[in-house]
Chain A
């Protein structure tokens, strides 16, 4: 009888390979000089879009949390996931593209719907849209970034489902 294994050697090897690439990319971000900056790769537009998407979601969560305090217990953990997504995506952003400048931090504003049910519906719709966009993004991104985007998309699809019913 085989043991139930979700993290076999193949998977772990592949994931670590991806993470090594990601870390290498991150490590390279401070050493690229203005003159040698290569043209932006395809990852850059994908990253920019994903960063904007996360910032939009965070702004909407913050607007809803500000307007509907009773939803805090339910929504704070989801909001926290998005701040983690944004942090990791921003760490990916700089290599070989924007030299020495801080990672752009998009400033977004959002307005919360008046009712709790309206607010949850708005969040659900935004999460669905984001998840669909991440699934499309992986076509254009490199391997390491694709894995990250796919995991973020899975999280967002799960959020949308959790916001759909009485799920806490």
Chain B
């Protein structure tokens, strides 16, 4: 693939993750506790804004932004405020992973955009879980680090 095609593919990966997040927050919003509802709306808007910017970047690069599916199968059913928070954390994990591809793009500004989006999502995942990150390299598949540094 050419550098432009690589960039578009990386942008599409991030966009796909944002599509899932926008859908997922829409689903979980109805179950969020009263104290979380405003927060959910703010985050949903933030993901929509990121999604729109990614679409713009893809179009500028001559690509056609991947469309959102009508619905996504979520990893578990949201039935309560706590499962809503769990889903939100899972969605943010997916966003971190989606942008990790873009963090390796050839355009330095896109790399930085991706790195910042990853940090925002990682912070939100911690807030939703109420616990510290468990991964040393969030977004990076373990295979990318083999051999495992702990076995070094």
Residues of chain A whose beta carbon lies under 8 Å from any beta carbon of chain B: 1-8, 10-12, 14-19, 22-23, 74, 77-78, 80-81, 84-85, 87-88, 91, 131, 134-136, 138-141, 143-144, 146-155, 157-163, 167-168
Contacts and interface: CB of A to CB of B under 8 A. Distances in A.
A145 to B, nearest CB: 9
A87 B98 CA distance: 25
A147 B140 contact: yes
24 contacts: A4-B20, A4-B94, A6-B97, A10-B101, A11-B97, A14-B104, A15-B144, A17-B104, A19-B143, A19-B146, A87-B150, A87-B152, A139-B112, A146-B103, A150-B100, A151-B137, A153-B115, A154-B115, A154-B139, A158-B133, A161-B126, A161-B127, A162-B126, A162-B133
A163 B126 CA distance: 10
Contacts, number: 191
Nearest to A147: B104
A62 to B, nearest CB: 17
Which residue, B100, B114, B121, has most C-beta atoms of chain A within 10 A?
Answer: B100
Contact of B109 (A14, A74, A139): A139
Which residue, B17, B112, B134, has most C-beta atoms of chain A within 10 A?
Answer: B112
Nearest to B125: A158
Contacts of B139: 150-151, 154
A1 B30 CA distance: 21
Interface stretch (B33-41, B56-64, B71-79): B71-79
Contact of A155 (B74, B98, B137): B137
